[in-house]
């Protein structure tokens, strides 16, 4: 048992130790300083820009950046739809899987485009090798780079100066791909292949087991996709069981690498902010708030899962290994519980155990992690979400102490606050509105084949689905029968709104602030890199997110807990 706890502590420490120098590297990449991979990738980037007709050095204002971002995202969406609707006859389909239905293709294309990777299909039967590589893996790379480019624009806007020129979106986008995501993916892929992850274009194998049964074994070029699935906090896996599948996560070492990989960039982004702005104390304050929130969620989960299901304990068996339903022996309960919170605080949504079978309050913590969505948060977008909370906290504490609300030398006024509040309230509207609609439809026709569990847990399945979509997370209470037109279409709209407004909102605020007059710090300035301010942000997060969802949580996981 101790070895399992050690494993988790080691994973966390290792990520922090790696993230600090890596954050420094990311800051250098976005600042345009010389980095180690320049000789390899500079010529390739120049070629990319020349052929595409893009001037990578021309600075853009925040609106131009957002238009560029949305345009290229639209191109990817159309491409993804085209591939998914035609995958049946496209090449690289050794298992002869059919094309996706229009509503499923719509949901899948959107969910991979927005870095969510909700999967209403199952990888073994619902996608071809061509779709997995040219649609899913491609979007893994570029959707992660989109979020990172947005974060780079934010960094640029937070500097101490007055300007509307905030770097070039295409430049940040390509740099994120070539300098950060691609090199790491190759390294991680090699580790995976050494540990037995398949990388083959051969189709399903048919084998005879020792007992004489004939079964099939799905395979594929898995080892190319899984590194970027985690590094880009995408989470859309090759197989239906995601990283619980022994081919997608063969042993404890690969499990460690997958967890470190998904955690690395969100964490490094926080330190990168500190290095980029030369405000290390601010970065440590943000890290402190995020880590406190993360630990508040992950420690209870590990304890509850280790304790196991009391209903099963009553059968009088040996509960030593904890709540093992939906968990794998090679990971054990602590590493599965740790993963379940890590994948929900950052927006990965890959799973190495089935969240539907977690204890009720563990499920609640997974939900809370996604509702906040800023304790680390996704690749690039996490820091954008957190920025919104900073703005609100600055405004509220400014009013409380009677000082002008200023952040990094820029006055925060009504317009910025309106945007910040709208982005925050939007989540509550999408999650609770969506769940309410689903509940209404289910109430009207209880014969709908949606829920795998009845009662409170069934309600949580629906709440989880919308929460996961709004957070662009992609994990699920997978018992939910979600490949139906209602779920495919309703969640796709939540996905779109839950992705682009929380990117445009913070960038708009940052763009407006960057254009304002810079006011040097004085004795009257509210300090934002202190412990007090950290506590203030934490309180704002709790009030705005956790409390506004309390009624919904009370109907689902909390009610289930008390019914045990």
Partner 1 sequence: MKSNILPAIKLTFLCILFFVVAYTFVVWSIGQVVAPNNGKGETVSYINSKDNLKYGFVNIGQSFTHDNYFWSRPSAVGYNAAGSGGSNKGPTNTDYLKSVQQTLDTFLVHNPGIKKSQVPVDMITASGSGLDPDISPKAAMIQVARIAKVRNISEEKLIVLVNQHTENPLLGVFGPPKVNVLKLNIALDNLK
Binders in 487-516 for partner 1, by CB under 8 A: none
Strand partners for 215: 207
Task: Indicate whether 522 belongs to the interface with partner 1 (CB under 8 A).
Answer: no
Contact 416, 391 (CB under 8 A): yes
Distances in whole angstroms, Cα of residue 328 to Cα of each of 23, 86, 321, 323, 343: 33, 35, 11, 11, 17
CB neighbour list of residue 465: distance below 8 Å, 6 or more residues apart? 118, 434, 438, 476, 477, 480, 482, 487, 491
Task: Label residues 451-482 b or e (16+ Cβ within 10 Å = b).
Answer: bebeebbbbbbbbbbbbbbbbbbbbbbbbbeb
Candidate residues 34, 39, 53, 443; the one interacting with partner 1 per rule CB under 8 A: 53
Candidate residues 62, 180, 269, 356; the one interacting with partner 1 per rule CB under 8 A: 356
CB neighbour list of residue 361: distance below 8 Å, 6 or more residues apart? 300, 304, 557, 558, 561
Task: Indicate whether 323 belongs to the interface with partner 1 (CB under 8 A).
Answer: yes
Least separation in angstroms between residue 61's CB and partner 1 is: 14
Candidate residues 89, 96, 317, 517; the one interacting with partner 1 per rule CB under 8 A: 317
Contact 394, 386 (CB under 8 A): no
Could you say which residues in the range 372-391 bind partner 1, by CB under 8 A? none
Contact 346, 475 (CB under 8 A): no
Rg, Å, the chain Cα set: 23
Task: Indicate whether 213 belongs to the interface with partner 1 (CB under 8 A).
Answer: yes
Task: Indicate whether 57 belongs to the interface with partner 1 (CB under 8 A).
Answer: no
Least separation in angstroms between residue 283's CB and partner 1 is: 29
Q: How far apart are CA 27 and CA 31, in angstroms?
A: 6
Q: How far apart are CA 334 and CA 306, in angstroms?
A: 7
Q: How far apart are CA 14 and CA 261, in angstroms?
A: 11
Could you say which residues in the range 282-311 bind partner 1, by CB under 8 A? 308-309, 311
Could you say which residues in the range 139-178 bind partner 1, by CB under 8 A? 141-142, 170, 177
Q: How far apart are CA 69 and CA 506, in angstroms?
A: 14
Q: How far apart are CA 111 and CA 108, in angstroms?
A: 5
Phi, psi dihedral angles at 78 (to 5 degrees) = -65, -40
Candidate residues 23, 360, 377, 498; the one interacting with partner 1 per rule CB under 8 A: 360
Task: Indicate whether 402 belongs to the interface with partner 1 (CB under 8 A).
Answer: no
Least separation in angstroms between residue 329's CB and partner 1 is: 4
* Interacting span for partner 1 (CB under 8 A) from 150-158, 318-326, 364-372, 538-546: 318-326
Nearest alpha carbon to residue 235 among 495, 476, 482, 475: 475
* Interacting span for partner 1 (CB under 8 A) from 48-56, 102-110, 261-269, 273-281: 48-56
Q: How far apart are the first and last CA of the chain?
A: 26
Candidate residues 148, 324, 471, 496; the one interacting with partner 1 per rule CB under 8 A: 324
Number of residues forming the site for partner 1 (CB under 8 A):
121
Per-residue x/- mask for partner 1, residues 216 to 255, rule CB under 8 A?
A: xxxx-x-xx--------------xxx--xxxx--xxxx-x
- Taking the least distance from each CB to partner 1, the nearer of 479 and 511 is 479
Least separation in angstroms between residue 535's CB and partner 1 is: 34
* Interacting span for partner 1 (CB under 8 A) from 16-24, 262-270, 272-280, 330-338: 330-338
Task: Indicate whether 96 belongs to the interface with partner 1 (CB under 8 A).
Answer: no
- Taking the least distance from each CB to partner 1, the nearer of 447 and 522 is 447
Least separation in angstroms between residue 327's CB and partner 1 is: 6
- SS3 of residue 288 by DSSP: helix
Nearest alpha carbon to residue 165 among 416, 511, 517, 504: 511
- Taking the least distance from each CB to partner 1, the nearer of 24 and 330 is 330
Contact 542, 395 (CB under 8 A): no
Candidate residues 16, 79, 82, 439; the one interacting with partner 1 per rule CB under 8 A: 79
Residue 215, judged by CB atoms within 10 A of its CB (0-12, 13-18, 19+), counts as exposed
Could you say which residues in the range 5-24 bind partner 1, by CB under 8 A? 6-7, 10
- SS3 of residue 505 by DSSP: helix
Candidate residues 34, 39, 89, 208; the one interacting with partner 1 per rule CB under 8 A: 208
- Taking the least distance from each CB to partner 1, the nearer of 353 and 490 is 353
Candidate residues 175, 432, 457, 499; the one interacting with partner 1 per rule CB under 8 A: 457
Candidate residues 34, 39, 51, 445; the one interacting with partner 1 per rule CB under 8 A: 51
Taken in order 361, 363, 366, 370, the sign of the CA dihedral is negative
Least separation in angstroms between residue 273's CB and partner 1 is: 26
Task: Indicate whether 271 belongs to the interface with partner 1 (CB under 8 A).
Answer: no
Least separation in angstroms between residue 34's CB and partner 1 is: 22
Candidate residues 16, 48, 300, 398; the one interacting with partner 1 per rule CB under 8 A: 48
Contact 519, 137 (CB under 8 A): no
Q: How far apart are CA 184 and CA 182, in angstroms?
A: 6
Candidate residues 21, 91, 98, 196; the one interacting with partner 1 per rule CB under 8 A: 196
* Interacting span for partner 1 (CB under 8 A) from 47-55, 389-397, 416-424, 463-471: 47-55
Distances in whole angstroms, Cα of residue 556 to Cα of each of 354, 371, 398, 454: 18, 15, 37, 11
- SS3 of residue 406 by DSSP: strand
- Taking the least distance from each CB to partner 1, the nearer of 263 and 395 is 263
Per-residue x/- mask for partner 1, residues 102 to 131, rule CB under 8 A?
A: --------------------x-xx------
- Taking the least distance from each CB to partner 1, the nearer of 184 and 264 is 184
Q: How far apart are CA 255 and CA 244, in angstroms?
A: 9
């Amino acid at each position: 048992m101790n070895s399992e706890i050690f494993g988790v502590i080691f994973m966390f420490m290792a990520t922090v130790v790696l993230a600090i120098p890596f954050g420094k590297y990311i800051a250098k990449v976005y600042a345009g300083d010389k980095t180690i991979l320049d000789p390899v990738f500079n010529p390739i980037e120049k070629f990319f820009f020349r052929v595409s007709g893009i001037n990578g050095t021309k600075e853009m204002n925040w609106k131009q950046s957002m238009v560029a971002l949305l345009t290229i995202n639209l191109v990817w969406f159309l491409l993804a739809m085209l591939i998914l609707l035609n995958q049946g006859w496209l090449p690289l389909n050794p298992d002869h899987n059919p094309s996706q239905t229009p509503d499923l293709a719509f949901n899948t294309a959107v969910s991979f485009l927005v870095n969510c990777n909700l999967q209403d299909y199952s990888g073994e039967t619902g996608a071809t090798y061509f779709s997995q590589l040219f649609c899913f893996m491609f979007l893994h790379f570029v959707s992660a780079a989109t979020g990172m480019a947005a974060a780079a624009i934010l960094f640029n806007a937070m500097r101490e100066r007055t300007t509307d020129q905030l770097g070039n979106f295409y430049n940040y986008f390509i740099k994120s791909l070539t300098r950060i995501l691609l090199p790491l993916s190759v390294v991680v892929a090699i580790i995976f292949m050494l540990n037995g992850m398949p990388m083959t274009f051969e189709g399903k194998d048919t084998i005879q087991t020792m007992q004489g049964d004939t079964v099939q074994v799905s395979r594929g070029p898995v080892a190319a996709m899984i590194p970027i699935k985690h590094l880009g906090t995408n989470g859309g896996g090759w197989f239906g069981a995601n990283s619980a599948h022994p081919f997608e996560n063969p042993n404890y070492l690969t499990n460690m690498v997958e967890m470190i990989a998904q955690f690395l960039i969100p964490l490094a982004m926080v330190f990168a902010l500190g290095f980029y702005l030369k405000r290390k104390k601010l970065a440590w304050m943000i890290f402190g708030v995020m880590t406190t929130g993360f630990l508040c969620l992950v420690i209870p989960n590990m304890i509850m899962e280790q304790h196991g299901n009391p209903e099963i304990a009553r059968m009088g068996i040996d509960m030593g290994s904890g709540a093992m339903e939906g968990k794998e022996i090679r990971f054990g309960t602590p590493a599965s519980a740790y993963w379940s919170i890590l994948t929900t605080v950052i927006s990965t949504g890959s799973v190495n155990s089935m969240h539907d079978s977690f204890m009720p309050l563990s499920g609640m913590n997974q939900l809370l992690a996604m509702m906040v969505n800023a304790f680390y948060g996704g690749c690039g977008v996490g820091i954008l979400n957190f920025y919104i909370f900073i703005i609100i906290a600055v405004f509220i504490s400014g009013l409380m102490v009677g000082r002008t609300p200023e952040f990094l030398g820029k006055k925060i006024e009504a317009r910025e606050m309106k945007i910040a509040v709208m982005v925050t309230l939007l989540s509550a509207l999408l999650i609770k509105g969506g769940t309410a609609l689903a509940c209404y439809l289910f109430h009207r026709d209880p014969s709908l084949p949606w829920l795998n569990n009845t009662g409170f847990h069934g309600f949580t399945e629906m709440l989880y689905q919308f929460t996961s979509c709004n957070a662009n997370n992609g994990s699920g209470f997978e018992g939910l029968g979600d490949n139906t037109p209602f779920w495919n279409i309703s969640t796709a709209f939540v996905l779109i709104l839950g992705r682009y407004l929380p990117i445009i909102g913070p960038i708009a605020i940052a763009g407006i602030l960057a254009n304002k007059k810079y006011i040097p710090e004085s004795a009257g300035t509210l300090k934002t890199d202190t412990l007090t301010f950290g506590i203030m942000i934490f309180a704002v997060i709790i009030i705005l997110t956790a409390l506004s969802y309390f009624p919904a949580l009370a109907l689902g996981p909390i009610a289930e807990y008390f019914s045990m």
